[in-house]
Structures are given as structure tokens and as C-alpha cells.
Structure 1
Amino acid sequence: MIGVLLAAGSSSRLGEPKALINLGQKTLVERSLQVLQAPFIDTIVVVLGAEKEPIKVLISHERVEVLESQEWHLGQGNTLSECMRVLAPRKEPILVMLVDTPFVQEKHIEAIIVAHQKNPSQVIISSFQGQSSPPVLIPFEHQHKLYEWKGDKGFGPFWKSHPDICQWISFDEEYRDLDTTEDKKYWQENWDK
């Protein structure tokens, strides 16, 4: 299984690279890589675009590969589809996580993997208090459905178009990503991990 960390965006709303923001003693990219060090994830691929050089300096894990997106400036949809196409020859399930979701913990990744083991042909989607969000686990047989994803499209249209192949895992944690200066302030004031 491949764990993919999407960290390619320019963070235009925040005004600084999300991946490099510190929460406690770690940056978001370091923390996300730690969360993805789960059993059954053999390889982690970090997808970079904007600010790739300073982020690369923080990536020192043996199991981590860097994929430099050529389409990151076109939006998350392009970055995601590019990543799926590049990894297609490996024919492995892919678990996708976003770098700006500090509420995601190791226990969430493990629950998603367990759900995948029970239903290996289903796309496993996280639901945080009813908010569907990555991490999302996509079996190889369904990855081609994302090959033509474009623009700022996230996963929402995917699961709305293919509910028959999707399974949701509910978590108690609140969905709150890190997109704005208000979000940054919230997370830095409330971070205790």
C-alpha cells in the first residue's frame, strides 16, 4: 500500500506554505509523515509543487519518495490525477492524506486500513462529525476514475458520483483544516500533542 501526502499547493489563502507551519515541535509535513508511518503502508509519496525545496529538507524518512508535480499550479484535482497516473504501474491501493489536516491521527489511518482489509474493493472515506474528507483509501481498480481530475476539485464530486463503491468511516473528531490565518491561530493555541 502507498500512502500519498498531498503538499503541493501554494497556500494562497494563508499566505505562507502550510507544510512548513509548526505545531508544537514539528512542522505539518513532519507531523503528517509521522501519521502515515502506519503498518501496511510500505511506501510514502509526498507530492510537492510550490515551496518544494524547503519542504524537501524536512523529509528524511527511508520509506518516503518525493513526487514533484508538474501541474500543482492548476489545482488539487490536477495534482491528484497526476499522482494517480504516475503511481498506476505499481497497481497498489493508495491512501491519500492532505498536509493541512492536523486533526488526522494514526488511529484514523489504522481504522481506514482495517476497513480496507475487510472490503478491499471499496473506496474508504473518512467522515469527521459528518464532514467527508481525506484520508481516503482508493483501491487500484478505482484509481483510473481520478486520472482526468482537474482544477480545484477535491474528492467530493468523486464520492457523490460513485456512492456504490464507497464506504464511510465515522470519527468523533471535528473537521478543521488549516487554510487561513484564523485556522493557524486556532491550531497553534490548541495544539497539545
Structure 2
Amino acid sequence: MLGVLLAAGASSRLGEPKALLRLGQKTLIERSLQVLQAPFKEEIVVVLGAEKEAVRSIISQEQVEILESQDWALGQGNTLAECMRALAPRKEAILLMLVDTPFVQEKHLHAILEAHQENASQVIISSFRGQSSPPVLIPFEHQHKLHDWKGDKGFGPFWKSHPDICRWISFEEEYRDLDTPEDKKYWQENWEK
């Protein structure tokens, strides 16, 4: 199984690269990789696009494999599709995380992996107080359904159109990503040191 971190977006609403934003002592890319490394060790792929050289400079390349998106400017859907196609030859399940979800913790990934062990053919989706969101675990047998994803389309249309293959794992933490200057202010004011 692979842990995949999408960190390719331009962060146009935020106005600065999300992956390089600091919360406490770490950038979001460093923090996300730390969370992913607990269960995945060296089986991590980071997908880069905008600001790829700046982000790459703070990643230890011994830790991760880097996949450069050619379609990142077309939206998250295109990046996701490109990633799924590029990793398809490995025929492995993928746990996919986004760099702008600082509320995601190691315990969430472990719960998703446990659910996958119970039924390896289900897509496992996180639900944070009722808000469906990555991290998402996608078994190999369902990844082809994302090969033609396009635009700014996230995962919502996927699980709405395939509820029969999906299982939701509920978490108590509040969903709040980091997309806008207001989100940045919230996270910087509420980040535990």
C-alpha cells in the first residue's frame, strides 16, 4: 500500500503556497509527511506541481518518492487522475491525503487502515463531524474510476456516485482545511505548539 500526499495546487485563494505555510515549527508539507510516515515509513509518494522546487527543497528525498504533476494547473481533479494513472502499474491500494488538512492525525490513518483490513475492497472515507473528506483509502480495483477526473472536482462526486463501494469512518475532530487567509489566521491562532 502507498501513502500519497497531494501537494500540487497553486493555492490561489490563500495567495501563497499551502505546502510551505508554517504552523508552529513545521511547514504543512513537513507536518503532513510526519503524519503519513507513522504508518507508511518509506512507501510515500508526494505529488508536486506549483512551487515544486521550493517544496522539493524541504523534503528529504530519501523519505519519499516525488511525482511531478503536469496537469496541476487544471485543478485537483486532473492532478488526482494523473496520479492514479501513474501509480496504476503498481496495483496497490492508495491512502490519499491532502496537504491542506492540518486536522488529520496519525490516529485517523490507523483507523482507516484497520477498516481496510476488515474489507479490502471498500473505499474508506473519513468523516469529520459529518464532513466527508480525505484521507481516503482507494483499493486498486476502484482507482480506474478516477482516471478521467477533471477540473477542481474533489472526491464528493466520487462517493456520491459510488456509495455501494464506500465506507465512512467517523471522527470527532472538526473539519477545517486551509484554503483562505481566514483559514490561515484560524490555524495560526489555534495551533498547539
State the distance in 2 between where 1:124 and 1:109 align.
Answer: 10
2:103 corresponds to 1:103: yes
State the distance in 2 between where 1:58 and 1:125 align.
Answer: 29
Q: By how many angstroms is 1:66 displaced?
A: 0.6
State the distance in 2 between where 1:127 and 1:42 align.
Answer: 27
Q: By how many angstroms is 1:43 displaced?
A: 1.0
Q: By how many angstroms is 1:42 displaced?
A: 4.8
Q: Does the C-alpha gap of structure 1 residues 40 and 8 become closer, same or farther in structure 2, counting only changes over 3 Å?
A: closer
- For the residue of structure 1 that corresponds to 2:102, the secondary structure is coil
2:103 corresponds to 1:121: no
What is the match of residue 168 of structure 1? 168
Q: Deviations over 1:86-126 (max 9, x none)?
A: 00000000011000000000000110001001110000000
Q: Which runs of 5+ in 1 are unaligned?
A: none
The residue type paired with residue 24 of structure 1 is: G
Q: By how many angstroms is 1:38 displaced?
A: 2.8
- For the residue of structure 2 that corresponds to 1:38, the secondary structure is helix
TM-score, with normalisation over the residues of structure 1? Answer: 0.98
TM-score, with normalisation over the residues of structure 2? Answer: 0.98
The residue type paired with residue 135 of structure 1 is: P
State the distance in 2 between where 1:107 and 1:61 align.
Answer: 25
What is the match of residue 23 of structure 1? 23
Contact kept? 1:2, 1:41, Cα under 8 Å: no
What is the match of residue 112 of structure 1? 112
State the distance in 2 between where 1:162 and 1:47 align.
Answer: 25
State the distance in 2 between where 1:46 and 1:68 align.
Answer: 8
- In the TM superposition, structure 1's runs of 4+ consecutive aligned residues that sit over 4 Å from their partners are none
The residue type paired with residue 177 of structure 2 is: D
- For the residue of structure 2 that corresponds to 1:168, the secondary structure is strand
Q: By how many angstroms is 1:62 displaced?
A: 2.7
Contact kept? 2:94, 2:140, Cα under 8 Å: yes
Note the aligned Cα RMSD (angstroms).
Answer: 1.0
State the distance in 2 between where 1:159 and 1:99 align.
Answer: 21
The residue type paired with residue 80 of structure 1 is: L
Number of equivalent positions? 193
What is the match of residue 158 of structure 1? 158
Contact kept? 1:4, 1:47, Cα under 8 Å: yes
Contact kept? 1:76, 1:154, Cα under 8 Å: yes
Contact kept? 1:8, 1:49, Cα under 8 Å: yes
State the distance in 1 between where 2:76 and 2:39 align.
Answer: 27
Q: Does the C-alpha gap of structure 1 residues 143 and 41 become closer, same or farther in structure 2, counting only changes over 3 Å?
A: farther
Contact kept? 2:124, 2:137, Cα under 8 Å: yes
The residue type paired with residue 92 of structure 1 is: E
Contact kept? 2:35, 2:106, Cα under 8 Å: yes
Q: Does the C-alpha gap of structure 1 residues 36 and 143 become closer, same or farther in structure 2, counting only changes over 3 Å?
A: same
Q: By how many angstroms is 1:39 displaced?
A: 2.6
